[in-house]
Chains A and B, each alone.
Chain A
């Protein structure tokens, strides 16, 4: 194993996050079983105090999770010189079979954590904790994912040995190699472009409509999820090319490097932000009927919609600007 400080930091960080979440889940169980708001008994009061702890633990965990996602990619990118054949994060992740799953899990957990926080916020604002059971049910289902991530990340880092030869993104993200990435690259460019712009426009319009008319919440939410996935595909397929000014460089990780002005960070930030807030709208839709939430949810959803539109809009602007100023003409 490589005794790199950042790796130790990530391992410690993820252990702590895993611990916090397990603790939260454990107490969430007792809340699920014995919660009764009407009762003024000491047990109930104790449970109410507990929810403060759990909210706090989750809020911190989510914050650290976001930071650890970026630190993970930065570290993995930084380690690439140690592996023959790796030139960026894509290569380092490929060193052993745990790399990409860890990365994907980190992204998924980030999104799940964000959604939980939105649910938690809504629940706390209502005067009778209407969503408490669903909230803790969700927490219990997120916990195994987080624990899986801790384990996978551990296995990944422990299995990193510097003399393993791996492939760089140049070979991973080409059309000859088998795999998801290659399937994306061989897609003809024009249709993908059209689909991307179309999905973005649809999402933005639905968002505006939803914001003004307060309807079509589910539709917008679904659309924002789909747009998230399509955007990732689009990044690999053709958007990245404009940053690298090379028609064959499809790697989605290299844009995080300094030579490309760290453009990857605002791109992924806005994309993730848009996805979480957009999906949050859909998450809250089923609860609009609950009495104590009737006044609260619509403004909250409007804010989320606005945030999502803003984030996706920013993403689109960045990408279009790059396309315009890029020296590459396809």
Chain B
């Protein structure tokens, strides 16, 4: 359902620090599957996730999402698609400081024009599902690492996307929390979500929830993986 054809991404074109992040990427990603992108840092995993997740436009190549070509869509439309289809969990969580957990969860949905009251209710439910009901009105600065991550996951789910993208989610977690994280991912997959995770953590790519592992190096795919 997500198809990448000959994707190339270059940064700083024409300048001395020109850098080719992705080269000749060809993938077909299927729905309701959990795919892990494995590789050392600098291999292009993060760039690939942002291209797939409509956060960045490829320099050349084509992307199809559910058979709709989205390669040259203007930002306005790309963002709308991204908001409805993808939910992001970042490596550093990137929660907005100074506001509460629930406000963080609601933030992605503000531009959608949903009524505040119903939005807040849904956000509360999501936090509840992740065991954070007691922390709803806490400032994010006061949350522990694991709690912050769960808030980030709740935030990614607020717009009811079909795909969850997570970039090195376990980088700042200990083993116990990492395993808990994969449990949550497994639950989401069972609910029908598609998962795309970039990680070089064995706990992630050896988890039983994972269907496919794609290996990357220097911006290219070196092992397209097979379905386990």
Chain A residues with a Cβ under 8 A of chain B:
37-42, 45, 48, 124, 127-129
Contact = CB atoms under 8 A, between A and B. Distances in A.
28 contacts: A37-B72, A37-B74, A38-B71, A38-B72, A39-B60, A39-B72, A40-B57, A40-B58, A40-B59, A40-B60, A40-B71, A40-B72, A41-B13, A41-B59, A42-B11, A42-B12, A42-B13, A45-B57, A48-B74, A48-B75, A124-B76, A127-B73, A127-B74, A127-B77, A128-B72, A128-B73, A128-B74, A129-B74
A320 B76 CA distance: 46
Contacts of A128: 72-74
Contacts, number: 28
Given A40-B59, A42-B12, A48-B75, 11 more contacts: A37-B72, A37-B74, A38-B72, A39-B72, A40-B60, A40-B71, A41-B13, A127-B73, A127-B74, A128-B72, A129-B74
A42 B60 CA distance: 11
Contacts of B71: 38, 40
Chain B CB count within 10 A is highest, among A39, A42, A45, for A42
Nearest to A125: B76
Interface in B20-75: 57-60, 71-75
7 closest Cβ contacts across the A-B interface?
A: A40-B57, A40-B59, A127-B77, A40-B58, A37-B72, A38-B72, A42-B13
Contacts of A38: 71-72
A37 B72 CA distance: 6
Nearest to B77: A127
Q: From DSSP, what is the main secondary structure of chain A's interface residues? A: loop
Nearest to A36: B72
Contacts of A40: 57-60, 71-72
A51 to B, nearest CB: 9
Interface in B170-207: none
A41 B12 CA distance: 10
A288 B77 CA distance: 21
B24 to A, nearest CB: 15
A121 to B, nearest CB: 12
A132 to B, nearest CB: 10
A127 B80 CA distance: 11
A240 to B, nearest CB: 45
A40 B59 CA distance: 4
Nearest to B57: A40
Contacts of A48: 74-75
Nearest to A49: B75
Nearest to B71: A40
A39 B61 CA distance: 10
A273 B98 CA distance: 45
A122 B127 CA distance: 40
A81 to B, nearest CB: 51
Nearest to A123: B74
A198 to B, nearest CB: 44
